[in-house]
Amino acid sequence: MPTINGGEGRLQIRVTVENGVIVNVTLTSTRPLNACSVLVGRRLGDAITLLPRLFSLCSTAQAVAGLIAAETALGFTPAPAQVAARRLLVAAEALDQTVWRILLDWPRCVGAVSVLDPLKQLRRVLASLRPLLFPDPAWNRIGGAELTPNHAELAAALDAIESGVNEAVLGDGQWVDRRSFDHWLRTATTPAAVTLRFVDDIKLSNFGRCAVMPLSEFDANTIGETGALARRWRHPLITALRADYGNGLLTRLTARVIESSALIAELRNQALALSADSGIPLAETASRMGMGLGIVECARGRLIHRLVVAEGRVCDYHVLAPTEWNFHPQGSLVCGLTGAPVPVGTTLHQAIELLITALDPCVGFELAIEAR
């Protein structure tokens, strides 16, 4: 049986330091980029059903990107309620991943204590959402599945999510403007505040600052950044922080905190568009030839599926994941590190680990630092 890093692959990041400055960053990936080759030759409906098994991480976003690509290839437009239900589930998954990073991984990076119980409670409520929309666990059907939203229980679940996230991430503080953010940063005790305060106190706010801009539209010739910072680029607080720190660590981490609130708003918006719908079973009757793109904003950024179907079978399938952008050799991590001075108040390893965690690759990573 072949052995390549457990099959899942990982990122290997090698940083070279000379005279107190990072002079070189090399990034290699052992992630298997051809995972979708196993979908080629399968019936379209079977291939789409397999996606959550292939991509157990962000499986909802992967499933929805595949559904959009398949339905586009077949020339089918799903009912607005089906679209809203899918978007709601994608937002729920992104919220899970975002709060996970903030409560578990950020504190670990700064030597603080991770917070488990609120995350477990949140994950329980988030997991309850799908059955409140789609009674059948096989909700990811081309053309849509039976949708019977339970509005009352959904409203209660969203209230529980909002209060749980606000308490665990923001605490008592509310951000209205830069001034209230600064006050929160100095006084709040949540893992998010502790982490951001650590970054600010040891003067890492600028760390990782670079000229890479957000991906605006899909353009294969441009290396842009995708994810929370790109999505919240024009948020008033992010605009204010960019003026001081560019897209450095403090701005980047703050965007993820803002994201937790924005995703709750997205859940509520999509809930308003829900109504009962029976869906239209398409896969078995699909015979036309077509190409489809499915684009979904998931926790780590823009996820793109592209497929070609002919006579009901998949001829070609490719996925472009957010990690391809943010961990590209000319992407935000490499550009943000190259030329950066070694920080004074902490170890370089800790600073880089924080930056990697803020950019959030979808696989594990190994970091090696060598002095020249």
Partner 1 sequence: MCIAIPAQVIELRETSAVVERYGERLEVSLLLLEEAVALGDYLIIQAQRYAVRKIDPEEALESYRLFDEIIGATVADGTA
* Contacts with partner 1, residue ranges (CB under 8 A): 1-10, 30-35, 37-38, 50, 53-58, 62, 104, 116, 119-120, 123-124, 300, 319, 321, 323, 361-364
Query: Which amino acid appears at position 372 of this protein?
Result: R
What's the first-to-final CA gap in the chain, in angstroms? Answer: 39
Q: Which is nearer to partner 1, 57 or 291 (CB)?
A: 57
Work out how close the CB of 7 gets to partner 1 at its nearest, in angstroms, rounded to a whole number. Answer: 4
Minimum CB–partner distance for residue 107 and partner 1 (Å): 13
User: Considering beta carbons, is residue 5 or 16 the nearer one to partner 1?
Assistant: 5
- DSSP letters of 111-152? T-----HHHHHHHHHHHTHHHHH-SSS----TT---B---HH
Closer by beta carbon to partner 1, 116 or else 243: 116
CB 351 within 8 A of CB 290: no
Say if CB 34 and CB 28 are below 8 A apart: no
36 is in an annotated binding site: no
169 vs 362 by CB, closer to partner 1: 362
Six token digits for residue 84: 């809203």
| Annotated binding residue 362 | yes
List of residues 6+ apart from 179 with CB closer than 8 A: none
- Does residue 97 contact residue 103 with C-beta atoms inside 8 Å? no
* Closest distance of CB 100 from partner 1, Å: 8
3-state helix, strand, coil in the chain (%, to 5): 50, 15, 35
Pairing of the two strands 365-371 and 11-18 = parallel
Residue 210 in marked binding region: no
Smaller CB distance to partner 1: residue 277 or 297?
Answer: 297
Q: Which is nearer to partner 1, 30 or 148 (CB)?
A: 30
Q: Could you tell me the smallest distance in angstroms from the CB atom of residue 261 to partner 1?
A: 23
- State in angstroms the smallest separation of the CB of 360 from partner 1: 9
**Sign of the dihedral through C-alpha 335, 336, 337, 342:** positive
Q: How far is the CB of 276 from partner 1 (least distance, A)?
A: 30
Q: Which amino acid is at 159?
A: D
**Residue ranges of the binding site for Mg(2+):** 319
Binding-site entries = 58, 319, 362
Return binding residues for Ni(2+): 58, 362
Q: Which residues sit in the known binding site for Fe cation?
A: 58
